Amino acid sequence: MRKLSLLIIILAISSCSKIDENTLTIYSSRQPQLIEPLLESFELETGIKIELLTGDAPQLLQRLKSEGGMTQADIFMTVDAGTLWQAASEDIFHPIDSKILEENIPSYLRDSEKRWFGFSKRIRTIVYSKEKVDPQNLSTIEDLASEKWDNKLCLRTSRKVYNRSLLASMIDNLGYEQSKSIVKGWVNNFATPVFSNDTNALKAVADGPCHVTIVNTYYLARLLDTGKYDQLEIFWSNQSNRGAHVNITGAGVVKSSKNKLNAIKFLEYLSTKEAQDIYASLNYEFPVNTRSELNDLIKKWGTFKEDEIPVERLGKLQRQAVKLAQEAEYF
């Protein structure tokens, strides 16, 4: 039995030591159908094969921590700057020096220590019912705390990372106490309990008791693309001050990767115009590369001012955002 156990250990070590330089393993919290065309395009261009493992971001992050230096992962990809910041703070990523990434991705959309990079922008802004709301009454997300929106506002739960990052951006801009006062105003104006996702919040604005909500724009685009919900309209918030809230999807090279050169090559590919065009057409998201084309549907929404807070600060302020939501009873 002892000899057999020793043999198993030796075989495990030897198998882990074999590195296939023509294969990359990606741990991703993105839905497979939203990134598979990108992976296929990269494979055709480079001959490097992709093995994709998808799942919930916190679970994947915990798996990476548990696997440590034995992990097969080369890249960790996820959908929020807060999660990327957390992964970096737990020493998951390997810093990258790449002129291509620095040229293609604006500095506020990447980690200042070069550990992770944003590859698409997720704009979180106001959507309203054209049948219930005069857009001249809209201005900022903070204004949704005013009495004129009493019993008219609906929001997704604060337990979702997108809203935690939104609250973090408010704390960064307005301070903790003022942000908490605003969020308490939101809660007072709720027409319904919070929703589990943005899509249900949008449907409640279209067909239910809600008049206005705050969502990621691609959820609206998906509904509009069905040919239904034409009564919904986007409003770019905070255009007179800091601009509409920006979050990202992003990725970094795993510190324990045995294939870092090809992993960097993949990230550089994601920042190219070709890959960014695929991102924009598939996901209704906004490309980070300014040379890329927008999806025709979202192009109709026109230009807008973005909040250019460095997105890494959204991660640094996550704990305060959670505390604020609890104190404001926004659950």
Domain extent listing, the chain: 21-121+247-293, 122-245+311-327
What CATH number does domain 122-245+311-327 carry, 3.40.50.1980, 3.40.228.10, 3.20.20.300, 3.40.190.10? 3.40.190.10
Is the pLDDT at 4 greater than 90, yes or no?
no
Q: Which residues contact 177 (CB under 8 A, 6 or more apart)?
A: none
pLDDT digit string (tens) for 190-226? 999 999 999 999 999 999 999 999 999 999 999 999 9
- Beta-bridge mates of residue 181: none
Q: Over pLDDT 90: what percentage of the chain? A: 92
At position 149, the amino acid (one-letter code) is W
Domain 122-245+311-327 in the same topology as domain 21-121+247-293: yes
Residue 174 pLDDT grade (very low, low, confident, very high; cuts 50, 70, 90): very high
Quick check: 232 and 59 in contact, CB under 8 A? no
Report pLDDT digits (tens) over 247-267.
999 999 999 999 999 999 999
Distance CA 276, CA 273 (A): 5
Q: What is the largest CA-CA distance in the chain?
A: 79
What crossing angle do the helices spanning 260-270 and 32-46 adopt, rounded to 10°?
A: 110
The two three-digit tokens of residue 149, written as one number: 């929106």
Strand, coil or helix: 173 = helix
Radius of gyration of the chain (CA): 21
Q: What is the pLDDT of residue 54?
A: 97
Tokens of 136: 């001249």
The fold of 21-121+247-293 is D-Maltodextrin-Binding Protein; domain 2 (3.40.190)
| Cα four-point dihedral sign 102, 104, 109, 114 | negative
Residue 16 has pLDDT above 60, yes or no: no
Q: What is the pLDDT of residue 280?
A: 84
